[in-house]
Structure 1
Amino acid sequence: MNRLLVIEAILKTNSFTKAAQLLGYTQSSVSQMVASLEKEFHIQILKRSRHGVKLTPEGRELYPYIIQTIHQYQALKETASSIRGLKTGTVRIGAITSVSCYWLPTLFKQFREEYPDIEFVLQQGDYGMILNWLKSGLIDFGLMTAEYGDGFEKHIIHTTEMNAFLPANHPLANLDRVPIEKLCDDPFILVEGGGYSEPLEAFSRAHMTPDVRYRIQDDYTIMAMVEAGLGISILSELVYQRTDFNIVSKPVEPAVKRPVAVVHRDKETLPIASQYFIEFLIDNQSQLK
């Protein structure tokens, strides 16, 4: 197991020397463990260059299994700890921007008040990225739309509304609700969903086609572009709560909804810490606004 942890540390730090310092080994020991693993598998896993360390093509094929093995070992240790009561563990989450920024910090704080030694690893991305992380074992569960991703277990914890985001001086900015057909008159900035888009689904249901000029993954970049007058967009209502952009956010008619769900494989196979945190999310879903 130590050899696999060394591989992970080398790739995280992009250095044999830094990996040795991180894990408390000598650089010579780290090199020997890598060489031993490569000799056992008869495959070169890592390639060093002046730019750092990278996986070889063969190493890229092996790496998801290395990560899965590490996670399974950590899950084993956490299960043993759970017999004595949850004391340590790591919760690996993949989440969309609005959820990671506006819900998770408070939830992390509350959870750690009861379990102070639990660690969190948060990966932020679009729907497609989250599903790929789930499949590879990089994360234990995702927080994303329930409308996308077949083959996973899902539990909806909240339904958020997606609003029209407009420049402050836009003709539609004074409306209480913006008819979706009116959003086809301006250049549209689409939040990149990685395989699924609530705005595009809403336009399709209305038999409308927006004038998509930009596809951007980051909500804050989109809001800056809206403020600059480059177009309009539809984003989660959550991202408007803590912004000082000179823009307005108005509900769309008909409403565009996003059912946010905990998405994972068989829950019983997850690390104990992640099982606890999922239960914590479900028990506290009423505070998600």
Structure 2
Amino acid sequence: MNRYIALQKIVEIGSFTKAAEALGYTQSAMSQMISSLEDELSIKLLYRSRVGVKLTLEGADLYPFIERTILQYQAMQGKANEIKGLETGVIRIGTISSITCHWMPQLIKEFQALYPNVQFILHQGDYSSIQEWIKVGAVDFGFITPPAVTGLHTITIKEGSMLAVLPTNHKLASHSTVSLHEIVNEPFILLEEGHFSEPMEAFHACNFEPNIKFCIHDDYAIMTMVEAGLGISILAELVLRRTNYHIVMLPVEPPIIRTIAIGFRDKNSLPIASKYFIEYLISNIEKLP
């Protein structure tokens, strides 16, 4: 392949001497490579004149194929470098608790079956902190909701319902659904998600102001407090799966929908391992709860 690249550089520059300098060869080595290539092909590729070096007629006919061969070789090298990059890659992700618990274990397990040496670093936060981590480069990408971010590229992954969470002895616990009007004056435990909250947006859309008694950063701590009768809350249906808390979960009217997306600064600047993981995630969206 070095002989093809040498030929290409000579044709580009029009000089054996300058092409040799550009590629770091001696002029003698450059001449030997071209001579070897011409012997192999049994074709005279170049001729020299007072104005420089040019392709012969036969060389000009063959040259487009040589150029394509070089491009294919470079593409192969690029792919090989990508694969080698995955051997020691580190994927840094900003995530929220429901995604950490219910998406990441299976995704990581399956991805590491393909690329066993890739490491994962998970930073768990909220919409505001994850957005900031992405912008300053502390994580490669993160799970966010599009209305909560600015200045980032996003790819929507899934939508999911949010449910009212009540103590088992609550007066509304036997209902099939609860309305925001019914719970607006109840002691409310708000999940701290940064500057954006889907339940708060829903309350405000109805011109309601909930009776917030506690603001907590952890979904599971909220479930514990609801179980103890300290208030009610609204949490993502995803995080409410596989829990052992004695609580009641009911649909909300009007429905509250949470949109989960991947956010990143620039896809082209993402590390190779993170690009592969995002592609893997997108191709397996239907498997995600």
- The TM-score with structure 1 as length reference comes to 0.71
| Aligned residue number for residue 196 of structure 1 | 196
Check the 8 A contact 1:79/1:271 in 2, yes or no: no
Q: Does 1:179 align with 2:179?
A: yes
Q: How large is the Cα RMSD of the aligned pairs? A: 1.6
Check the 8 A contact 2:172/2:178 in 1, yes or no: yes
Q: Which runs of 4+ in 1 moved over 4 A?
A: none
Question: How many angstroms does 1:84 deviate by?
Answer: 4.6
| Aligned residue number for residue 128 of structure 1 | 128
Amino acid across the alignment from 2:158: H
Identity of aligned residues (%): 49
Equivalent-residue separation in structure 1 for 2:121 and 2:80 (angstroms): 21
Check the 8 A contact 1:94/1:122 in 2, yes or no: yes
- 1:163 alignment partner, SS class: strand
Q: Note the residue ranges of structure 1 that are not aligned, 5 or more in a row.
A: 1-77
- 1:147 alignment partner, SS class: helix
Amino acid across the alignment from 2:100: S
1:12-61, Cα deviation, whole Å (9 max, x unpaired): xxxxxxxxxxxxxxxxxxxxxxxxxxxxxxxxxxxxxxxxxxxxxxxxxx
Check the 8 A contact 2:96/2:125 in 1, yes or no: yes
- The TM-score with structure 2 as length reference comes to 0.71
Q: Does 1:236 align with 2:236?
A: yes
Question: How many angstroms does 1:85 deviate by?
Answer: 7.1
1:108-144, Cα deviation, whole Å (9 max, x unpaired): 0011111111100000011111011112111000012
Q: Note the residue ranges of structure 2 that are not aligned, 5 or more in a row.
A: 1-77
1:137-164, Cα deviation, whole Å (9 max, x unpaired): 1100001212211110101111011110
Check the 8 A contact 1:81/1:87 in 2, yes or no: no
| Aligned residue number for residue 151 of structure 2 | 151
| Aligned residue number for residue 39 of structure 1 | none
- Relative to structure 1, is the Cα distance of residues 129 and 80 closer, same or farther in structure 2, using a 3 angstrom cutoff? farther
Check the 8 A contact 2:131/2:144 in 1, yes or no: no
Check the 8 A contact 1:92/1:139 in 2, yes or no: yes
Check the 8 A contact 1:111/1:280 in 2, yes or no: yes
Equivalent-residue separation in structure 1 for 2:234 and 2:112 (angstroms): 34
Equivalent-residue separation in structure 1 for 2:259 and 2:184 (angstroms): 24
Amino acid across the alignment from 2:233: S
Question: How many angstroms does 1:237 deviate by?
Answer: 0.6
Question: How many angstroms does 1:81 deviate by?
Answer: 3.6
Equivalent-residue separation in structure 2 for 1:226 and 1:83 (angstroms): 48
Equivalent-residue separation in structure 1 for 2:166 and 2:201 (angstroms): 20
Equivalent-residue separation in structure 2 for 1:140 and 1:271 (angstroms): 7
1:59-85, Cα deviation, whole Å (9 max, x unpaired): xxxxxxxxxxxxxxxxxxx99741657
